[in-house]
Structure 1
């Protein structure tokens, strides 16, 4: 990749472009998508959340053998067997660790001690401040537009990013939620981030490991075709389908929590991502699905984002301001 966009995050991570592929369960729970993104100049991220030790071991070896460029592993700290996963990661020494759903003091000293750059996912200025005080190297700031698990307070990325930047003015930030193209990247950098994280855009990539029906659902979705359901149960944002309709009906009618929990747990992301059940499965995706119109190779997605970013910056430089 000949293009370079220098920011605080590219400097921290040693990458050419401020483009981070989100760690997405099943979609990037192998090496294909992360390798493609890292080779294209961004940061590819392996999603360790649903992976068994043997599968993760093989994938880590494929990442190390497949590129000299930096790459990352995303680890939800709440997952079963997280300590065993951390033991494996400490052996394999990934260039970057992105941790979520837990406190950073649990892993920081161990991984920074072996040279791994540690990023922590936050959704409030308060959590950002605590993570910075703990010593993280950078933050991923997730707003309400994001797919998967958006923040319970549902503050938009634009507002949340500015609030976090004001709270922790010096730490490198990665904006996540609602960004699907180079125009969104330009906006994220203007708001104080040093990179943007792209999840839904890379769901609809050739290398994404989700079922083709899942990819078609992302491409077909409009900006208003996702719903948040499961508040109090591990809320998710997903593309509207029979599952989200049923959950919405139960939530709006004030149905019993146990019934809602059963319906919520009976549907899984695996149903949609692996088996292609886009009617009853959890088709997790962000609002930016409405900006995704095609399935492309990851390297082509990266190149398009770079061109769109250049176009956005050129447009910003054109107007004059009268003072």
Structure 2
């Protein structure tokens, strides 16, 4: 197997600087993270929507299915987060990727258990706070990302450089807008030690999402994934009834509670699990416009490596 060594691969014990994003529903079962970890990257189980018993079973399936490292992504705002942390500590997960909260809430316990702790940030200020708390590394999210981009919508190109300058000694994973090996080369050039791929792995055979959701991603252009939900926790999503309603409410200056009610009426589960791509939240990054086929995850990893090597060879001297 090809290996590409960086500070991130050394920290995590993986062969390739390729991280599959933790995506609710899409990677809330073991199939996708297992395939990515087996291929040499870091597969990430998305704990956000998972019931504790299902999460425990998925972690054990991952451990039984590979001797390679894997991660669990935990949004700290989710209901029952403390119970989930106790579960993950008991299961001694190799890597924790935490988001939407402060690292001091979990850090000492997990590091004492031998878990590598990565924290998701979207600003130099939060990066410095996480570094001061003692995290092992950071996932730096830019505006191009699907799901929850930074509310200020600073591009990945800028935010990764800003964070790399703010915390120069901390391993970084760049996230937002990456879909191919040229993007991986760009991430490493920016100062990251790996790139995180979300939307690219949405279009994988192992992604646990409805075919209608995948078809929407494949049909998208680079301009389709738009941010909605100002003041409510911005998401980037593909156009449908939900995004049109939200855009109109925002344009008309609707009261925040009216917007909150409409925002909550539609869910990611409706689109990703039930296949209601008209009324649900079709969360996807701008890189959807660079994705045009569903492929096995391991094949995606191999292609990313080949494209990366070709991109690097094409650079001048």
TM-score after normalising by structure 1: 0.97
Residues of 1 paired with 2:138 and 2:117: CA distance?
9
**What is the correspondence of 1:256-275 to structure 2 with a 5 Å cutoff?**
256-275=255-274
Q: Report the Cα offset of residue 258 of structure 1.
A: 2.1
Q: Report the Cα offset of residue 256 of structure 1.
A: 2.2
**What is the correspondence of 1:224-303 to structure 2 with a 5 Å cutoff?**
224-303=223-302
Identify the residue that residue 67 of structure 1 maps to in structure 2: 66
Is 2:200 aligned against 1:201? yes
Q: Report the Cα offset of residue 240 of structure 1.
A: 1.0
Q: Report the Cα offset of residue 294 of structure 1.
A: 0.3
SS at match of 1:42: coil
**What is the correspondence of 1:1-323 to structure 2 with a 5 Å cutoff?**
2-316=1-315, 319-320=316-317
Structure 1: segments with no counterpart, 5+ residues: none
The CA RMSD over aligned residues, in Å, is 0.6
SS at match of 2:23: coil
Residues of 1 paired with 2:32 and 2:191: CA distance?
27
SS at match of 2:73: strand
Q: How many residues align?
A: 317
SS at match of 1:45: strand
Q: Report the Cα offset of residue 257 of structure 1.
A: 2.0
SS at match of 2:131: helix
Residues of 2 paired with 1:91 and 1:246: CA distance?
44
Query: Residues 269-292 of structure 1, C-alpha deviation per residue, up to 9 Å, x if partnerless?
Result: 000001101111000000000000
Residues of 1 paired with 2:256 and 2:168: CA distance?
41
SS at match of 2:304: helix
TM-score after normalising by structure 2: 0.99
Residues of 2 paired with 1:270 and 1:44: CA distance?
21
SS at match of 2:147: coil
Residues of 1 paired with 2:22 and 2:313: CA distance?
31
SS at match of 1:139: strand
Residues of 1 paired with 2:105 and 2:239: CA distance?
36
Structure 2: segments with no counterpart, 5+ residues: none
Residues of 1 paired with 2:195 and 2:131: CA distance?
19
Residues of 2 paired with 1:120 and 1:32: CA distance?
24
SS at match of 1:119: strand
Q: Report the Cα offset of residue 242 of structure 1.
A: 1.3
Q: Report the Cα offset of residue 227 of structure 1.
A: 1.0
Residues of 2 paired with 1:66 and 1:4: CA distance?
21
Residues of 2 paired with 1:228 and 1:142: CA distance?
14
SS at match of 1:175: strand
Comparing 301-310 and 226-235, the one that deviates more? 226-235
Residues of 2 paired with 1:215 and 1:273: CA distance?
9
Residues of 2 paired with 1:216 and 1:204: CA distance?
9
